[in-house]
């Protein structure tokens, strides 16, 4: 009997055994299709490897499916990073020192939302967000404090910054110089991935075209002056957090990378002068096998894309990536389960071949990580490195029938999506038409509908949910204290600097933008050395480029499609119809994002769900002040305002919204808050006039029912 006959005989035996075990159910009932359109089956065999070209290619060899380096972690483990930043530069500096002493191997800086959006801490639009979701940085003085006692000559620093990337990178360079470290010795990464900001995260400042000029100027400057510094971290993480499935995340991330390469080439650079310092950043969720396959497929696809630019340096085609475990998969219910989730995701990142990794803390579904939870998150990686043999083998999944098949199928799905982008004229054009945003929003709405129905199971949320639980202590930031501290420091800087020199540098920056000349990063570094602020340098360019405003839109029909045969859903729709008959119009809700938080996955999913329930939904523009939201609510004559929160500003902004409505004589408009709200904050919000709070994991239908109850109580009262 030859090998082929033997394999077929064993397969026939397996089929018979499986059918007996299923007691008459067809084997096909065990198969399912993933959100990516990939068929999963209980058994993979050697026939699933037919036509896969990369089989047998070792790591470190193009197309790098098995890893970018020949020996992978056996030669050098991945870098353990801790993404952190909160409150003041002093508080964050203390955290970084502690993290480095406890096993961290690099610093990843999280900036607060006003900094991301190019506002100084004393700007009126910054009030509720200063220091809340990251560290407030307004000038070189803040940068110097942030890295005080940390040698920037031998510490790798990663900075998640896109919108205000010029003053932040410029301030970092100036702070390093004053520490005695020249630009040429700086190591690390600036995210500088503005395209994904227009797609999902929304911490953009300028419109797409000038934003791409900024990207190009940074690449050009760093290619000449900062040869050890990565000029872009092309991010899929935020696409996943916004609801993209693995194929969408993979395709759009690679397509964004291609657009940046084209931008640099159009600026006159040789591909090998910058491509080796492009890096990537992927999110790692709970679909273990798919996440491992995603990183392997990413290296394959990047090698294919870079091959079209004919590089001579093999490093130009080599995809290196940082990974972060999912923040979205964390739950506020049974939060200690998040340790398990993060461990599973960390293992997927390592098995996929990441070069560095951040593990989220167990309490990040509710607030910034505490010292206790951050230590557990770091030690998760230390244990994987020190107590297992996982690092000893490069790509131990190579040759797996299932893994190789998933890698190949995922790459095929991504190629189809990338072809759609190409047909649209490239990623910049596709973003202008809204194509990738629609695809991601549709995926997010379907995902949430599956969770709310219990099709996608999450322990503690829709399975094994506890009746009562004690919430863990969470880190709370005193927003007013941080704001006052920053305002004082800004006043001191402005009083002590050479004002004429600063204004001259800012004017030169404006002229360079107006006349399309010079290098914007060069000019920003000069301005930051003179103690210009983040807000001032941003405003100097905003004078020419303007500030981009995304058009708000609600997606209809996707969420409700998953519920069309559900009796409770039908009953809720009938309740809403009764209201419409009684009041002469449908219940109208304004969904608002207050402050500088641009994460809009949640509010868009809620908008889709409420629209399908039968509400009239107004989706407010991003970055509203409470006063602007109140004005829109009154003008639109809504019954309810739903304030969506993720970044901790709710304690300031939601009460301000209540007061703004009262000031307009609109006390009858119901205010509710939804999103990441620690249970400890709920009594304070209710006391200050918020009618209801819907925390993480609240099903949309439950929120809809409660809103209708409030409207009934409001009308009868």
Active site residue 238: yes
* Per-residue confidence band for 717, with pLDDT thresholds at 50, 70 and 90: very low
**CB-count exposure of residue 314 (10 Å: 0-12, 13-18, 19+):** middle
Residue from 150, 124, 146 nearest 135 by CA? 146
Question: pLDDT tens, 508-535?
Answer: 999 999 999 999 999 999 999 999 999 9
Choosing from 64, 83, 96, 204, the catalytic residue is 83
Domain spans in the chain, listed from the N-terminal domain onward: 10-43, 44-76+191-457, 488-545, 558-716
89-93, 634-638, 643-647, 705-709: lowest mean pLDDT where? 643-647
Give, as one character, the DSSP assignment of residue 516: T
Average pLDDT, the chain: 91
Rounded (to 5) percent helix, strand, coil in the chain: 55, 10, 35
Mean pLDDT of 293-306: 98
Mean pLDDT of 237-249: 96
Choosing from 69, 73, 96, 237, the catalytic residue is 237
* Per-residue confidence band for 474, with pLDDT thresholds at 50, 70 and 90: low
* Per-residue confidence band for 618, with pLDDT thresholds at 50, 70 and 90: very high
Mean pLDDT of 164-175: 97
* Per-residue confidence band for 367, with pLDDT thresholds at 50, 70 and 90: low
Residue 475 pLDDT: 64
pLDDT at 656 > cutoff 90: yes
pLDDT at 216 > cutoff 50: yes
Residue 680 pLDDT: 84
pLDDT at 362 > cutoff 60: yes
Choosing from 196, 238, 358, 447, the catalytic residue is 238
Question: pLDDT tens, 76-112?
Answer: 999 988 776 667 899 889 888 888 887 767 788 989 9
Active site residue 237: yes
Active site residue 116: no
Map residue 163 onto helix, strand or coil: coil
Give, as one character, the DSSP assignment of residue 206: S
Q: What separation, in Å, do the N-terminal and C-terminal C-alpha atoms of the chain show?
A: 84
Active site residue 204: no
Choosing from 196, 358, 599, 639, the catalytic residue is 599
Q: Which residue, chain included where needed, has tokens 């070209």? A: 53
Mean pLDDT of 207-222: 94
Choosing from 597, 600, 618, 681, the catalytic residue is 597
- For the chain, give the percent of residues with pLDDT over 90: 70
CA distance 339 to 325: 11
Mean pLDDT of 687-704: 91
pLDDT at 708 > cutoff 80: yes
What architecture (CATH level 2) is domain 558-716? 3-Layer(aba) Sandwich (3.40)
pLDDT at 1 > cutoff 60: no
Mean pLDDT of 489-498: 96
The CATH code of domain 44-76+191-457 reads: 3.20.20.240
Residue 294 to residues 71, 284, 342, 581, Cα–Cα distance (Å): 20, 9, 17, 51
Active site residue 599: yes
Residue 56 pLDDT: 85
Mean pLDDT of 342-359: 97
């Amino acid at each position: 009997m030859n090998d082929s006959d033997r394999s077929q005989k064993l397969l026939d035996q397996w089929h018979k055994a499986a059918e007996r075990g299923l007691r008459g159910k067809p084997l096909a009932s065990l198969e399912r299709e993933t959100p990516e359109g990939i068929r999963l089956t209980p058994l993979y065999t050697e026939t699933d490897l037919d036509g896969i070209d990369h089989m047998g290619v070792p790591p470190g060899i193009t197309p790098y499916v098995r890893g970018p380096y020949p020996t992978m972690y056996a030669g050098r483990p991945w870098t353990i990073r801790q993404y952190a930043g909160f409150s003041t530069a002093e508080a964050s500096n203390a955290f970084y020192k502690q993290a480095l002493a406890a096993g961290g191997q690099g610093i990843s800086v999280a900036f607060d939302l006003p900094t991301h959006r190019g506002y100084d801490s004393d700007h009126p639009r910054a009030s509720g967000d200063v220091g809340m979701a990251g560290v407030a940085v307004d000038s070189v003085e803040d940068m110097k404090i942030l890295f005080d006692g940390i040698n920037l000559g031998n510490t790798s620093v990663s900075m998640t910054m896109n919108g205000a990337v010029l003053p932040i990178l410029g301030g970092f360079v100036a702070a390093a110089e004053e520490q005695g470290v020249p630009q040429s010795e700086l190591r690390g990464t600036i995210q500088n991935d503005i395209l994904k900001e227009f797609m999902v995260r929304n911490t953009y400042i300028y419109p797409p075209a000038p934003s791409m000029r900024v990207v190009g100027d940074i690449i050009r400057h760093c290619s000449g002056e900062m040869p050890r510094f990565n000029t872009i971290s092309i991010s899929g993480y935020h696409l996943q957090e916004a609801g993209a499935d693995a194929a969408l995340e993979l395709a759009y991330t690679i397509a964004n990378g291609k657009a940046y390469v084209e931008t640099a080439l159009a600026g006159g650079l040789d591909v090998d002068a910058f491509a080796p310092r492009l890096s990537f950043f992927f999110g790692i969720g709970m679909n273990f096998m798919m996440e491992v396959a995603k990183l392997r497929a990413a290296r394959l696809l990047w090698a294919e894309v870079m091959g079209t630019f004919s590089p001579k340096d093999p490093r130009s085609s080599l995809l290196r990536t940082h990974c972060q475990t999912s923040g979205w998969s964390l739950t506020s219910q049974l939060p200690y389960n998040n340790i398990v989730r993060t461990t599973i995701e960390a293992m997927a990142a390592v098995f996929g071949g990441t070069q560095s990794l951040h593990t989220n803390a167990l309490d990040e579904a509710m607030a910034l990580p505490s010292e206790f939870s951050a230590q557990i998150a770091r030690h998760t990686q230390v244990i994987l490195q020190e107590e297992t043999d996982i690092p000893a083998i490069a790509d131990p999944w190579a040759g797996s029938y299932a893994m190789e098949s998933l890698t190949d199928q995922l790459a095929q799905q991504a190629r189809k999506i990338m072809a759609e982008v190409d047909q649209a004229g490239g990623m910049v054009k596709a973003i202008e038409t809204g194509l990738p945003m629609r695809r991601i929003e549709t995926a997010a709405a379907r995902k949430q509908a599956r969770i709310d129905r219990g099709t996608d199971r999450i322990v503690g949320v829709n399975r094994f949910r506890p009746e009562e639980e004690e919430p863990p202590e969470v880190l709370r930031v005193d927003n007013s204290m941080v704001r006052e501290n920053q305002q004082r420091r800004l006043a001191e800087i402005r009083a002590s600097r050479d004002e004429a020199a600063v204004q001259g540098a800012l004017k030169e920056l404006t002229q360079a933008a107006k006349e399309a000349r010079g290098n914007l990063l060069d000019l920003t570094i000069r301005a930051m050395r003179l103690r210009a602020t983040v807000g001032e340098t941003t405003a100097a360019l905003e004078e020419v480029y303007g500030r981009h405003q995304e058009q708000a839109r609600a997606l209809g029909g996707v969420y409700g499609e998953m519920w069309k045969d559900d009796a409770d859903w039908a009953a809720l729709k009938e309740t809403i119809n009764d209201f419409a008959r009684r009041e002469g119009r449908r219940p109208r809700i304004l969904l608002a994002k207050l402050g500088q938080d641009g994460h809009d996955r949640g509010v868009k999913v809620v908008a889709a769900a409420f629209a399908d329930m039968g509400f009239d939904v107004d989706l407010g523009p991003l970055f509203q002040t409470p006063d602007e939201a109140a004005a829109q609510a009154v003008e639109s004559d809504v019954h309810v305002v739903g304030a969506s929160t993720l970044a901790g500003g709710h304690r300031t902004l939601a009460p301000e919204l209540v007061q703004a409505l009262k000031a307009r004589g609109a006390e009858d408009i119901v205010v509710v808050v939804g999103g990441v709200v620690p249970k400890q904050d709920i009594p304070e919000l209710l006391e200050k006039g918020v009618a209801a709070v819907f925390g993480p994991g609240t099903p949309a239908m439950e929120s809809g029912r409660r809103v209708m109850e409030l409207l009934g109580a409001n009308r009868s009262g």
